[in-house]
Structure 1
Amino acid sequence: MSEVNAQRETVARKGPLAHFKVLDLTRVRAGPTAVRQFADWGADVIKIESPQHMEVSDGWGGLRDGPDFQNLHRNKRSLAINLKDPRGIAILRRLVETADVVAENFRPDVKFRLGIDYESLAKINPGIVYASISGFGQDGPYAKRPGFDHIVQGMGGMMSINGHADKGPTRVGIAVADVAAGLFTGLAVMTALLERQVSGKGQWVQVSLLEAMIAMLDFQAARWLFNREIPGQPGNDHPTSIPTGVYPTQDGHITIAAGEQAMFKRLVVAMGCEELMDMEPFSTEEGRSKNRVELNAELSRRTREHTSAHWLEVFERGSVAAGPINSMDAVFADPQVQHLGVAQPLVHPTLGPVSVVGQGFKMSRTPSQMRSTAPTRGEHTDEILREAGYSDGEIAAFHTDGVV
């Protein structure tokens, strides 16, 4: 065991998913996001990656100790095996015998070529839930295209409704398609595991970035499907509920969401401009939406007269939905964010104390658990092979032959 590995603190796995074993063959972001949902809630997640001598990265180059990789791959164990070697495939197949979930985001044809597709592995373990994530689906005219978040944001409609119309299409500042696909995959796998309790059988779960992106459009997509209405780029305005947007202050900007009639009334009362409530065309929600430019100009003229802190205090007293526009440091300095414990502490064996982004939901009896930072490549290889029944002699031979 290396010095780095010896320094790693061991914390017992526990949580509502502690009885599940997940084999993680995913790379980059969507797949790791899905598998993280299991790792944080106690599942034994085995990250399967190529041995160092193969010089194959996880899509991150030399950034393994960087914040993104560490945030995605916490709470996992790492097994480094060569899947181009039949003995490496044999190791994977043995692990499948006792696994509950296999997750992969290979190109659709790769798993069939390796003989580790769902049908092949279901013969070994009929209860296996097999999750495949792709850019555009496992089949169809775009199945072989490489899928990237940026591309799918464009194809899936997000860029057409984001940003300002005079600035052209605008991508979202996070990997929204990747993250959505990952979360949908986690939900789908858990649904399949619940169904398995009834049928005793696993199944093949398929998620694409394109489908996830379109599903995330929600009411914007529904506007087209129901009314054949093509949404545009509303900038900082809400597409239909006005005033909802960003407003200038004496020292910056704030956000206000007051499109609903009662909230708009509270807004104008708090601002001391009750006359706007009775002024045409601002007296109705429809009128405010159609005349948003004029209304926003009226409100902006007033919000510029005082500081952001002044207005946020006024709106807090008046029960008006409003908030600051925080930079990332201000986000994590916010007292409510700190109260919620969004930043979760960990100790990295070489970097020392670090923090990762916690889970987006809480459970009263079985909370999520931050046990360890992302593993080093192959950190748990020997440990996992012994658990699978391989002898020390066999493991030594695997190392000698470059199988692990």
Structure 2
Amino acid sequence: MNSAVNSLPLKGLRVLDLVEGSLGSIGRTLAEWGATVVRIEPRSGAADRLAEPRIADISLSFTVANLGKDSVALDLNQPADKAEFELLASTADILIEDFGVRRDRFRPFDIEAMRRTNPALVVLSLSGFGATTSFTEWQATDPVLHAMSGELSRSGLPGREPLLPPGELGLQCAASQGLLAVLAARYSSLVQGRGDWLDLSLLDGAAAALDPGYGSSGSAAQGVPASKLPRGRPEARFQYPIIACADGYVRICMLAPRQWRAMFDWLGRPEEFADPAFNTLRARYKSKTLIPRIAALFAGKSSAELQAEAQKRGVPLSPVLSLDQALSASQFTSRAALVEVELVSSVTVTVPNGIIEFDGKRAGLAGPPPTAGSGQDIIARGWPARTTHSAGDSGLAGKLPLAGLRVLDLGVIVVGAETGRLLADLGADVIKIENASFPDGSRQTRGEPISVSFAVGHRNQRSLGLNLRSDEGKALFHDLAAKADVILSNFKPGTLESLGLAPKALLARNPKLIIVDSSAFGPTGPESRRMGFGPLVRAAAGLSLQWRYPDDPTSFSDALTVYPDHVCGRIGAAGVLALLLRRLETGRGGTISIAQAEVMLGHMATEIACISARERGHTVEKFSQPDAPWGVFPCAGEDEWCVITVRDNMDWQALCRVIGRNDLAKNQALFGRHGRLAEIDFINAGLKEWLADRTADDAALALQTEGVPAAPMLRVADLPQHPYYREREFLRQVSHPKIDEFFYAENLVVNAERLSLPHQNPAPMQGEHSIIIAQELFGFDNAKIEKLLADGVLEAYSEDVGHASP
């Protein structure tokens, strides 16, 4: 086997990174996957090197965003330094810049001139609201992204104010959209011969990758789209209940009938719940006594006891852990999901060790954070040798980048849908392999032929009904795999092997194949076979415990989110693109493994570094609460809210001007870590008074006009008609032959010059394309197909039956 197959897939890729702040995680991930990433920063040092949280003068947020990069210090406003930068750019493959994110940063170079010099260059430009809308000058923070994406309106409990999710989930999910987009454009540049300029709005990225209101939803939603949810924050805790036990809490996630039957047995088969109707989610959700009965069973038992018993019985359950508890969990330590990094002598912290495995090896820490100018000699010696890729294929010019590639999609529910859909949107022929005996839970509806959720999550795919539990079905799958480029799955680890579809055997027959597996906790480790759904991952990785109102320890508020499913789909699709890039050189494929819990840890990297630093006795400088307005404020109207985030003194003075309190603007002592609580309360009271007779839209506009990050809380149903989303063409109205009304679907991965809009072929009915695929890919005649149907090897959609049938 070519030794390059076991190398990191982006080895030889040359990346210039001019991003400050947490969005530097895009470049960090490229470095983890093998690229040489050079961060360009001022000779005086970048501002984010001083960002909180800090240990003395070491910024932990800078650390986690820049691990494994080199640093070149240049003053791009000086002609000599600018010339050095342009020389580097002339031989770079990718340039990432964020001059559109902050109001006080201005791009000091000409991108179009660079692209004329280097036509293959891919440029990723990050901004809060895109480069071409009336919102271009608006400022984005993580809370602003939550408010305008529709996520905030679904976070919190009925009758209470909306609750900002913890951490920087919006920004980190937007970063994953950027990672996918830049690798898609890089692959396109190699197979089509030209680079691209990508315009990524952070709001687009957050709205698409965190929990899209018009994307695929979990099976617990029963096909009801987020746009149809009741106004306010609907009660959803019954879907994934969190129940007290002797040493904390556990969460259960019963979706399939077999999981309910296992719980019914555990309860002692009480007559009260013996009605077969309890096999349905609707009956269980409506019951007023079921969760109290389970709570009585769990009372007095430890979370470890309950987890062991649940695993034995087949009931999906997880302890609800704090983040520091999660960091010491055996599953993460056994998989080296966390690693120590030395910042300076005697100062070591723990950080997440990558988010993906290639060929069974972790693509983790690529190196320590760079000291300023540590890579300065790259100017003299030049870039490392570039990996040689195949020349552009003019026959693909103007087509979607993955045109001509075939994907076999075994994935289910949201992660499975999202990974396959993203590859299909990029032009691949994605064939969803299904079986009527084990239907995809996301097909579940309230009696309709197909749900809107399934329709938007599986566009541009074909469906093949194939019985993989039959010997002939397995043989047909092996034949398909021999002609395929990619196989996707997100089963419990070991499932492919138990079906006789072991990746090793598939790769032996087709060495060009790329095989992706995505699971809750990864393919190895003591809890790898544990049942995992997104709500259980959030509980086990320490996120659910953070997602509560500060004054109510039982107010768990993450039940309506589908995170991290959509973002893991993007990581999987980006991983496929990385291996496709390597395959251009080596001619061989490989494997990808994604642990959803580890992706989530990666999004909490700064907080993990803080926890480990404190455990080692270091003092961490961090505002536990900003000493200026930062949060969700009520506005005129019923349940109307505006997010306001004051970042610094410039924002503070602007806020005071807008609300007519110039007397406070000059008192900078009120902003910063020495502000007094009584004064902060006074400021917030004045702000609330100003907001009381203003709509959220009017308040946000007034504040953003002066540069203060603010946003109205939008509901999912608001998005299609909102000026930003209309100008950005983020959504398109589509139809499906089995759905009576028009509905909305996401339109694109990123705004670009060359990446085309995806097709909008309707999602398939189960087994809809079985016959044509049997003719096209196997060359079977009608007699052979009829026999396979009769034997139950193939299943085909029947209008009369309404689903796939032999």
Task: State the SS of the aligned residue for 1:105.
Answer: strand
Select the residue among 375, 378, 381 that pairs with 1:384: 378
Residues 22 and 43 of structure 1 are in contact (CA less than 8 Å); yes or no, is this contact kept in structure 2?
yes
What TM-score, normalized to structure 1?
A: 0.82
Q: Which residue of 2 aligns with 1:24?
A: 17
Q: Which residue of 2 aligns with 1:392?
A: none
For structure 1, which segment, 362-371 or 95-104, has the greater mean C-alpha deviation from structure 2 after superposition? 362-371
Aligned partner letter, 1:229: K
Find out whether 1:140 has 2:136 as its counterpart.
Answer: no
Q: CA deviation at 1:294?
A: 4.2
Task: State the SS of the aligned residue for 1:177.
Answer: helix
Q: CA deviation at 1:106?
A: 0.8
Find out whether 1:76 has 2:69 as its counterpart.
Answer: yes
Find out whether 1:326 has 2:321 as its counterpart.
Answer: yes
1:87-131 C-alpha deviation (Å, 9 max, x unpaired):
2222211111110000011127999862332x2210110010000
Pair 1:55–1:135, CA change in 2 (3 A): closer
Select the residue among 342, 352, 357 that pairs with 1:357: 352
Task: State the SS of the aligned residue for 2:143.
Answer: helix
1:167-223 C-alpha deviation (Å, 9 max, x unpaired):
321111121111111111111111111111211111012222211222135464347
Select the residue among 261, 264, 267 that pairs with 1:271: 267
1:237-274 C-alpha deviation (Å, 9 max, x unpaired):
2xxxx542211113321010013222111112123244
Q: CA deviation at 1:276?
A: 4.7
Equivalent positions of 1:3-402 (< 5 A) are 15-30=8-23, 32-52=24-44, 56-58=47-49, 60=51, 63=54, 65-107=58-100, 114-117=108-111, 119-216=112-209, 218=211, 220-222=213-215, 228-230=227-229, 233=233, 237=237, 243-279=239-275, 282-289=278-285, 291=286, 294-364=289-359, 367-381=362-376, 383-388=377-382
Residues 15 and 95 of structure 2 are in contact (CA less than 8 Å); yes or no, is this contact kept in structure 1?
yes
Query: Counterparts of 2:284 and 2:97 in 1: how far apart (Å)?
Result: 48
Q: CA deviation at 1:376?
A: 1.3
Q: CA deviation at 1:24?
A: 0.3
Q: CA deviation at 1:388?
A: 4.4
Aligned alpha-carbon RMSD (Å) = 2.8
1:57-95 C-alpha deviation (Å, 9 max, x unpaired):
457268363433222211111111112223222221111
For structure 1, which segment, 216-225 or 203-212, has the greater mean C-alpha deviation from structure 2 after superposition? 216-225
Residues 162 and 235 of structure 1 are in contact (CA less than 8 Å); yes or no, is this contact kept in structure 2?
no
Query: Counterparts of 1:345 and 1:129 in 2: how far apart (Å)?
Result: 33
1:346-368 C-alpha deviation (Å, 9 max, x unpaired):
33442454432122210116642
Residues 162 and 234 of structure 1 are in contact (CA less than 8 Å); yes or no, is this contact kept in structure 2?
no
Q: CA deviation at 1:292?
A: 5.7
Residues 276 and 282 of structure 1 are in contact (CA less than 8 Å); yes or no, is this contact kept in structure 2?
no
For structure 1, which segment, 251-260 or 60-69, has the greater mean C-alpha deviation from structure 2 after superposition? 60-69
Q: CA deviation at 1:334?
A: 1.0
Q: CA deviation at 1:293?
A: 5.1
Pair 1:58–1:288, CA change in 2 (3 A): same
What is the aligned length? 367
User: Mind listing any 5+ residue stretches in structure 1 that lack a counterpart?
Assistant: 1-13, 390-404
Query: Counterparts of 1:100 and 1:153 in 2: how far apart (Å)?
Result: 32
Q: CA deviation at 1:21?
A: 0.8
Aligned partner letter, 2:326: V
Query: Counterparts of 1:326 and 1:225 in 2: how far apart (Å)?
Result: 30
Pair 1:311–1:167, CA change in 2 (3 A): same
Task: State the SS of the aligned residue for 2:332.
Answer: helix
Query: Counterparts of 2:108 and 2:19 in 1: how far apart (Å)?
Result: 15
Query: Counterparts of 1:136 and 1:372 in 2: how far apart (Å)?
Result: 32
Pair 1:59–1:140, CA change in 2 (3 A): farther
Task: State the SS of the aligned residue for 2:170.
Answer: helix
Aligned partner letter, 1:46: V
Q: CA deviation at 1:281?
A: 7.1
Aligned partner letter, 1:167: R
What TM-score, normalized to structure 2?
A: 0.43
Residues 214 and 221 of structure 1 are in contact (CA less than 8 Å); yes or no, is this contact kept in structure 2?
no
Residues 213 and 225 of structure 2 are in contact (CA less than 8 Å); yes or no, is this contact kept in structure 1?
no
Query: Counterparts of 1:340 and 1:84 in 2: how far apart (Å)?
Result: 46
Residues 268 and 276 of structure 1 are in contact (CA less than 8 Å); yes or no, is this contact kept in structure 2?
no
Task: State the SS of the aligned residue for 1:244.
Answer: coil
Identity of paired residues, percent? 23
User: Mind listing any 5+ residue stretches in structure 2 that lack a counterpart?
Assistant: 1-6, 218-222, 384-806
Residues 185 and 196 of structure 2 are in contact (CA less than 8 Å); yes or no, is this contact kept in structure 1?
yes
Q: Which residue of 2 aligns with 1:397?
A: none
Pair 1:352–1:59, CA change in 2 (3 A): closer
Q: CA deviation at 1:22?
A: 0.5
Residues 265 and 274 of structure 1 are in contact (CA less than 8 Å); yes or no, is this contact kept in structure 2?
no
Aligned partner letter, 2:324: D
Residues 354 and 365 of structure 2 are in contact (CA less than 8 Å); yes or no, is this contact kept in structure 1?
no
Task: State the SS of the aligned residue for 1:311.
Answer: helix
Residues 152 and 162 of structure 2 are in contact (CA less than 8 Å); yes or no, is this contact kept in structure 1?
yes
Pair 1:372–1:171, CA change in 2 (3 A): same
Task: State the SS of the aligned residue for 2:131.
Answer: coil
Aligned partner letter, 1:260: A
Residues 347 and 372 of structure 1 are in contact (CA less than 8 Å); yes or no, is this contact kept in structure 2?
no
Aligned partner letter, 2:129: F
Residues 337 and 352 of structure 2 are in contact (CA less than 8 Å); yes or no, is this contact kept in structure 1?
yes
Pair 1:159–1:360, CA change in 2 (3 A): same
Residues 70 and 356 of structure 1 are in contact (CA less than 8 Å); yes or no, is this contact kept in structure 2?
no
